[in-house]
């Protein structure tokens, strides 16, 4: 446990440094937004494309991993939705809470951290988890919010979902890399070096951006944030573990990586969606802040447990 904690500590220290920069206004909200945009559109995309393009497609695609992760994530999504329903929340607000309970910070935090902790072999399973989150659950929340608010689904909703996927640089870079890999085209040396240098900025940039963005988050409605953080940090990895170790058993390494990814704190894009639709943004903000702080201890605990499997 101590060894894992010390190995994850530098990641959270960079997040803390970003938080300090944002809190003291050394890094303004505008600067944080531009840093996030650089990481999202350039650095992280370069990293994802390089890994996807240089790994054989057969090593990345794992249908049983997709199914097992889906089962585990749908389970916690349904639990959070049922609790929201019992509290008589409307569908859009329940969708935001369910998204907080089930979607982790896989892109900005999980990708660099798990690649270091489990080796670059973890990149394939992490990309599967990331793709499922982006394609399935980012689409689902848009459907639930628009359907719940308007009482019906229109072609415009599905057009919005399609455009969102096509314009998402992480989806584009993973897809382009997989196509490159399937065509068995070697990556030229200068291009590989370019992607390596640019992708190298993803880890520190993403972690710093997480911290700086947390400086603007509030911890209102702490009891709801605590419930959603518990779902994300504890219930979600347990559900994914049950699915991948017993219901749809797969090899231990990809299962371990996926379970570790499920143990990550709430993703920042949940707040972006909540703020965009003006549905419980403070609730999402508090869940992101609290789950990230708690994950300093819970993530090492989860990985220590997984190392013992």
Residue 64, CB-side half-sphere exposure with 13 Å CA sphere: 14
- The pLDDT, as a whole number, for residue 61 is 84
The parts of the chain modelled with pLDDT lower than 50 are: none
Residue partners of 274: CB distance under 8 A and separation at least 6: 96, 280, 281, 283, 284, 285
Question: What is the spatial distance between Cα 253 and Cα 259, in angstroms, rounded to a whole number?
Answer: 10
Q: What are the extents of the domains in the chain?
A: 2-307
Residues ≥6 apart with Cβ < 8 Å to 2: none
Distance between CA atoms of residues 265 and 292, nearest Å: 5
What pTM was computed for the model?
0.91
Four-residue CA torsion sign, 212, 291, 5, 195: negative
Q: What is residue 87's predicted lDDT score, i.e. its pLDDT?
A: 93
Query: What confidence tens digit (pLDDT) does each residue in 264-295 have?
Result: 999 988 998 888 888 988 899 999 999 999 99
Query: Domain 2-307 maps to which CATH number in 1.10.10.60, 1.10.10.10, 3.40.190.290, 1.20.1530.20?
Result: 1.20.1530.20
């Amino acid at each position: 446990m101590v060894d894992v904690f010390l190995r994850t500590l530098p990641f959270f220290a960079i997040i803390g440094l970003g938080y300090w920069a944002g809190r003291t206004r050394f890094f303004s909200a505008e600067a944080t937004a531009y840093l996030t945009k650089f990481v999202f559109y350039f650095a992280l995309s370069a990293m994802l494309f390089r890994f996807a393009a240089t790994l054989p497609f057969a090593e990345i695609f794992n249908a049983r991993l997709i199914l097992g992760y889906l089962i585990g994530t749908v389970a916690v999504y349904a639990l959070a939705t049922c609790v929201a329903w019992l509290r008589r929340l409307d569908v859009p607000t329940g969708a935001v809470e369910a998204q907080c309970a089930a979607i982790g910070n896989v892109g900005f935090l999980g990708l660099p951290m798990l690649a270091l902790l489990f080796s670059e072999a973890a990149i394939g399973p992490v990309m599967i988890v990331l793709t499922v989150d982006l394609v399935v659950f980012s689409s689902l929340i848009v459907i639930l919010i628009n359907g719940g608010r308007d009482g019906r689904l229109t072609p415009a909703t599905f057009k919005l979902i399609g455009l969102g996927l096509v314009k998402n640089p992480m989806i584009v870079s993973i897809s382009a890399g997989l196509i490159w890999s399937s065509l068995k085209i070697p990556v030229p040396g200068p291009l590989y070096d370019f992607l390596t240098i640019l992708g190298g900025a993803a880890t520190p940039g993403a972690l710093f951006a997480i911290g700086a963005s947390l400086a603007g988050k509030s911890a209102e409605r702490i009891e709801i944030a605590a419930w959603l953080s518990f779902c994300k940090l504890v219930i979600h990895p347990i559900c994914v573990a049950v699915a991948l170790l017993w219901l749809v058993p797969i090899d231990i390494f990809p299962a371990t990586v996926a379970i570790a990814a499920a143990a990550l704190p709430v993703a920042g894009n949940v707040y972006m969606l909540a703020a965009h639709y003006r549905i419980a943004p403070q609730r999402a903000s508090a869940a992101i802040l609290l789950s990230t702080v708690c994950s300093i201890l819970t993530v090492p605990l989860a990985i220590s447990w997984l190392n013992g499997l």
